[in-house]
Structure 1
Amino acid sequence: MAGVSRCMKYSMFIFNFFFWVICGCIILGFSIWIRVSSTEQVNACSHTSTIVYAGVNLLIAVGAIIMILGFLGCCGAAKESRCMLMLFFIALLLILILQITGGVLGAVYKPQVEEAFNRTLSTSVNALQSTTGEYTEYQEAFQKLERKEKCCGLLDGPQDWGKNFNKPSSKICQCELEKPSSDLCIKYGDRYIYKRPCGEVIVQQIKDNLIIIMGIAFGLAVVEILGLVFSMSLYCQIGKK
């Protein structure tokens, strides 16, 4: 043990166990929860699912990788293996670089992403207006979303449904409240319909998920930097034995 600080060694071990194994489990579990909890929105807006869940899928992968790295770091510290510690350091550094790169690219290409998202919404509107029967399943799923979120259409309310809105016995966008509130419902033709477009609901959900993802990513970056410092310090101390 000459030349190797017990404090550094066990700090590295404890750091990896609590912050990587446990943190990895939390990130993985929470990301899967976000992914699964919004299944209905994905089904109703299948055209936008790639955009909505790209960040969540990335977090699932990161959580799994963190668990593996945590195991590698714990073993490297316990066995005083320079090889394991260097692998841990390199992998952690690559993840940090990828996170920073992803953040920069997201900021730089934000207008293009928003434009692509708007085009995707327009495509979804065309699916709502279709009368060929090709998108029947999608339309039914979207009506479930409307009832759940108390919204109507994607961008322009009932106009997004085209001729489908006026079909006999159609209950599209119909406000199902016993006493329709002016905050939620408006009079349209011979019935009350929900006032808010579902596009606003989808955008808000994306923003909420992005805030969570950004918060986790920022906290993760801080922990990663600490991991880099711990692993390299221990690596150097072992080399001086």
Structure 2
Amino acid sequence: MAGVSGCIKYSMFIFNFLFWLCGILILAVAIWIRVSKDDQQIFTNGDSGANPYVAVNILIAVGATIMILGFLGCCGAVKESRCMLLLFFIGLLLILIVQVVAGILGASFKSEFEQILNGTLHENVKLLSSTDENAKAFQEALSEFQEEFKCCGLVDGAADWGGNFQQYSKSCECSDVPVSSCTVYGDKTVYKQPCISLIKDLAKKHIVIIIGIAFGLAVIEILGLVFSMVLYCQIGNK
């Protein structure tokens, strides 16, 4: 009977070690996006049930699962355990199927996601002029965003701040930008561009990161399925 190929066995081990590292990377990136305090305050509206971070939450779960599967695959390859390899194969196949389904659903509901994000941002305009304590976290987050990305207000510029403008005007004041990018509001020279388009661009960049990870992961997963099944069959033929 044919023995187990050392090349396949150790290739499987190396692959799964890299797969495990990929799981750590995915988990780290997803958690970084999810816990980014300013972005979370800007994208999330406390009065809405919609949460633009659902995809990131799914990615966190996928990253954690990949770490477990990578460890399982490494042990299965070293110990030549058909049971571990079969569990690895089934788990990997299920993840791949979930990714494909999620990709199809994501493409189908892309316009709905954009509408939800747009609606959330427009709804959050009310928080800028609010004096409620619950609105302060959003106001501080947008103030920091304004200073970093050189914009002012959310939808209609500085007017969005209402009576709170003087308190947060410093982050709106023009600096190191062409005069054409500035306008006068009250007694201050502030950025003309509202932040809504920049926030949407930031959300799109997050989505591109998620899609890129998902595509790269799909290729790795297919290789993992092939390696694990070849090794599984070779162990069975010993």
Tell me if both proteins adopt one fold, taking TM over 0.5 as the criterion. yes
Aligned to 1:232: 229
Q: Which residue of 165, 170, 174 maps to 2:172?
A: 174
Judging changes above 3 Å, is the alpha-carbon distance between structure 1 residues 68 and 34 closer, same or farther for their aligned structure 2 residues?
A: same
1:41 matches 2:70: no
Is the 8 Å Cα contact of residues 151 and 198 (structure 1) preserved in structure 2? yes
Is the 8 Å Cα contact of residues 52 and 117 (structure 2) preserved in structure 1? no
The one-character-per-residue Cα deviations of 1:176-231 (angstroms, maximum 9, x if unpaired) are: 52x66225422234321112211122111111111111111111100000000111
Report how many aligned residue pairs link the two structures: 236
Aligned to 2:130: 130
Unaligned 5+ runs, structure 1: none
The one-character-per-residue Cα deviations of 1:97-155 (angstroms, maximum 9, x if unpaired) are: 11111110011111211111122112201222334555234323322332232211112
- RMSD of Structure 2 on Structure 1 (CA): 2.6
Is the 8 Å Cα contact of residues 43 and 141 (structure 1) preserved in structure 2? yes
The one-character-per-residue Cα deviations of 1:11-59 (angstroms, maximum 9, x if unpaired) are: 2112111x212222222233333444x3223234442897443333333
Unaligned 5+ runs, structure 2: none
Judging changes above 3 Å, is the alpha-carbon distance between structure 1 residues 3 and 149 closer, same or farther for their aligned structure 2 residues?
A: same
Is the 8 Å Cα contact of residues 45 and 142 (structure 1) preserved in structure 2? no
Is the 8 Å Cα contact of residues 158 and 173 (structure 1) preserved in structure 2? no
Q: Give aligned-pair identity as a percent.
A: 55
Following TM superposition, where does structure 1 have runs of at least 4 consecutive aligned residues deviating by more than 4 angstroms? Answer: 48-52, 131-134
Q: 2:177 and 2:220 mapped to 1: Cα distance? A: 50
Q: Is the partner of 2:179 in helix, strand or coil?
A: coil
Q: 2:123 and 2:64 mapped to 1: Cα distance? A: 34
Aligned to 1:109: 109
Aligned to 2:213: 216
Is the 8 Å Cα contact of residues 9 and 234 (structure 1) preserved in structure 2? yes
Is the 8 Å Cα contact of residues 43 and 117 (structure 2) preserved in structure 1? no
Q: 2:85 and 2:133 mapped to 1: Cα distance? A: 59
Q: 2:87 and 2:29 mapped to 1: Cα distance? A: 27
Aligned to 1:62: 62
Judging changes above 3 Å, is the alpha-carbon distance between structure 1 residues 71 and 220 closer, same or farther for their aligned structure 2 residues?
A: same
Scaled by the length of structure 1, the TM-score of the pair is 0.85
